[in-house]
Structure 1
Amino acid sequence: MDRKQAQSLIGKMVMIDENQEGRFFGTLIEVIAPPRKTWRGKIEIKAVAELPIFKEEGSIIELESLKYTENEIIECNGSKLSIVDEEIECSYKESLTRATMQRWNELDKEQNKMKRQQHALTSFVSIHGLDLTLQDDYHAARVDIRENEQEQEHVVTYTFKKQRNQYILIDGQNEVLELEGCPFEFEWTHNGKSFIGFYEEAGTFISKDGERYSPKIGAAFSIDKKQFDPYFILRNELEPAALESFEKSLQSHGLTHENIVDCHNALLGQLLNAEGNNTFQGVNFLTFRGKQGVVMVQHHFNRTLHDHSNDEIYDRFEFTTEQGKRAIVTYTNEFSR
């Protein structure tokens, strides 16, 4: 696009191509074209066209942060701008959902292609009489072994200790878990009997049956790893009626809890960093993948916790399918205003 063409597009939608940092839609506000210099465009960002690339640091893979936010005014070189042939009527949030779904579908295609390539390679190995350890039967057996090993390692084992007048648990990697205010469910053995319960206070645990246990230093405890899963924590935080409504909506989309792909639990982060706050609000982002494709769920939450009265709880679940269909489920407890 040259500067003359850009002048005719003022007030219209253009695309901003930031290469590895993604692509965006925005309204062209002004063309800045000083003599004998590269022209620039001033744009108001309206939507996301394509997500940024993944970045890898060692074993960690993350998406680059979004370069621009909704309604942000930017300036960029004219070489980054192009004409938009279609009308962009969705909101910034809706466009971000669509871009995310598009990336999921791309990853699915890559994964399916890789599986076909692995199958072709296995056939090649068989035809040429190469190492039989690459055969499907052997590979499947190794997968079964790994899955069994993982099932046996579904818990984290801790040792009970006291450090600077604080009671703590330490795992095999010397990671410390402070017990004061810890919400996790623990399992322990005492006098040959197994118990499940919670930490109470002053180095004392209480089982679900109401039996208190004051362990000696060095006593062993374990935690089921699923308790560290953000989605598991989110489900446990919901009121029974809210969870039931959520599960019914999942079923109507052909989904169960097993179809969860990713869970961003913003509420958990707020609760862990509460520091005296009793009001929490925000959005959790959940991604599911089923036979009907990808479904994004935005869980809008509002919590006001009270010491001497009932808590006020509000939940709204917004379902969006990759076909663009939306459904909303709302829950409010009787104590909310």
Structure 2
Amino acid sequence: MDRQLAKSYVGKKVILNEGKNGQYIGLLEDIQTEPRKIWVGTLRILGLYSFPEIDLDSNQLSSPLYSENEKVFCSGNKIDLFNQDFTFSYKESIDFALKNKWNEINAQKEEAESTLTMIQQELKRRKAVHLLNEDIFVYYSLVKKNRRFYVYDEEKQEALSLDGCPFEFEIKIKDHWEKAHVVNEATFELEDGNQFELQHGDRLRLNKSQFDPYRILLNELEGPALQALERGLQQLGIFHEHNVYCHNTLLIQLLSSVEKYAFDGVNFLSYATDNQQFSVQHHYEREIQEGDHDITYDRFEFTADTGERLITTYATQFSKD
């Protein structure tokens, strides 16, 4: 905006452009126009016009540079015309800027999905679509150590015990990958009920989608324990799809303690609907028994933001508590 136009906009709303840090609606309160220098404006911030760019590496959203009614002194080359109605509060302007950012990224996602579909179709035509599946799996070797079986990731040099393992693997049967779960030691059962005994060095693979902490938790729970969780959720009128957060400490212990046979702790779960928030504390105990059924204890403590509370439990035997 040139200085002559800026003089006519004193007392009116303008846009302050801060580049990657977003755009802001401000009231142009005053300008200074020194000869042969870019004019400088004084603005009072009214709201956010466009949300700051999102840094994917930081794993968190940036905050607006300016607060409500903050005075800003800036170069005139950062100020643009604004000829629209602006009736939002400062808070509402941030809400709508976030919504617009969502729409922007969602449109990019839809465009990317369309492009990915075209690439997939071309790979199908070239009979090479199997290459896409390789990246969604982690590949392991079966190893036996001290009479116990583990799966070993050679790339990361990490081992995972098969005792009480909650994951669904895929094993190779006649050159085809088939879904299977661990029955006992190196015995795996396919979806059709047939069982196969694997040997030291055999290859397995695992779909990475199973690394979602909430899905892992659901897979780890025994049938009656899962029913106890779902019974509590249903009483509060919520379901698995309402889960928004899962801090799975049991998973952390299982992955980091290859030689450990007993685990206890608390998982923290959060659920949300349009109208309510819920928290669940999952107290658990696990004891892996050599040649016998494992000992498990699960206690779910539900709390709604209305103050409603309930508890459900499951145990193969009484807890140590």
With structure 1 as the length reference, what TM-score do the two structures score?
A: 0.49
Between the aligned partners of 1:118 and 1:167, the Cα distance in structure 2 is 43
Partner of 2:270: 287
Q: Using the TM superposition, name which of 225-234 and 183-192 deviates more.
A: 183-192
Please say if 1:155 is aligned against 2:136.
Answer: yes
Between the aligned partners of 1:60 and 1:328, the Cα distance in structure 2 is 37
**Counterpart AA for 1:301:** Y
Between the aligned partners of 1:214 and 1:334, the Cα distance in structure 2 is 31
2:247 alignment partner, one of 264, 283, 286: 264
Partner of 2:318: 336
Work out whether residues 246 and 329 of structure 1, in 8 Å CA contact, stay in contact via their aligned partners in 2: no
Partner of 2:207: 224
TM-aligned CA deviation for residue 140 of structure 1: 6.8
Partner of 1:187: 170
TM-aligned CA deviation for residue 286 of structure 1: 0.6
**Counterpart AA for 1:254:** G
Between the aligned partners of 1:201 and 1:238, the Cα distance in structure 2 is 17
Partner of 1:142: 111
TM-aligned CA deviation for residue 145 of structure 1: 3.6
2:298 alignment partner, one of 315, 318, 322: 315
TM-aligned CA deviation for residue 135 of structure 1: 11
Q: CA RMSD in A?
A: 4.6
Please say if 1:212 is aligned against 2:212.
Answer: no
TM-aligned CA deviation for residue 258 of structure 1: 1.6
Deviations 1:151-201 (A, max 9, x none): x76831537599xxx97444xxx4345365473432143324442235799
Work out whether residues 280 and 303 of structure 1, in 8 Å CA contact, stay in contact via their aligned partners in 2: yes
Between the aligned partners of 1:161 and 1:239, the Cα distance in structure 2 is 24
Structure 2's unaligned 5+ residue stretches are 1-53, 61-90, 121-131, 144-149
Partner of 2:236: 253
SS of residue in 2 equivalent to 1:336: coil
Work out whether residues 152 and 160 of structure 2, in 8 Å CA contact, stay in contact via their aligned partners in 1: yes
TM-aligned CA deviation for residue 263 of structure 1: 0.7
With structure 2 as the length reference, what TM-score do the two structures score?
A: 0.51
Query: Residues 253 and 114 from structure 1, CA distance in 2 versus in 1: closer, same or farther, beyond 3 angstroms?
Result: farther
Partner of 2:308: 326
**Counterpart AA for 1:195:** E
Work out whether residues 254 and 292 of structure 1, in 8 Å CA contact, stay in contact via their aligned partners in 2: no
Between the aligned partners of 1:201 and 1:309, the Cα distance in structure 2 is 11
Deviations 1:67-90 (A, max 9, x none): xxxxxxxxxxxxxxxxxxxxxxxx
Query: Residues 287 and 146 from structure 1, CA distance in 2 versus in 1: closer, same or farther, beyond 3 angstroms?
Result: farther
**Counterpart AA for 2:312:** T
Query: Residues 287 and 161 from structure 1, CA distance in 2 versus in 1: closer, same or farther, beyond 3 angstroms?
Result: closer
SS of residue in 2 equivalent to 1:211: strand
Work out whether residues 312 and 336 of structure 1, in 8 Å CA contact, stay in contact via their aligned partners in 2: no
Partner of 2:156: 175
Structure 1's unaligned 5+ residue stretches are 1-55, 63-107, 123-133
Partner of 1:87: none
Between the aligned partners of 1:312 and 1:160, the Cα distance in structure 2 is 28
TM-aligned CA deviation for residue 284 of structure 1: 0.6
Work out whether residues 167 and 180 of structure 1, in 8 Å CA contact, stay in contact via their aligned partners in 2: yes
**Counterpart AA for 1:187:** E
Query: Residues 335 and 308 from structure 1, CA distance in 2 versus in 1: closer, same or farther, beyond 3 angstroms?
Result: farther
Rg: which structure is higher? 2
Q: What is the percentage of aligned positions where both structures have the same residue?
A: 26
Work out whether residues 286 and 297 of structure 1, in 8 Å CA contact, stay in contact via their aligned partners in 2: yes
Work out whether residues 316 and 328 of structure 1, in 8 Å CA contact, stay in contact via their aligned partners in 2: no
Deviations 1:233-260 (A, max 9, x none): 2112222122112112222333221221
TM-aligned CA deviation for residue 277 of structure 1: 4.5
SS of residue in 1 equivalent to 2:219: helix
Query: Residues 185 and 145 from structure 1, CA distance in 2 versus in 1: closer, same or farther, beyond 3 angstroms?
Result: same
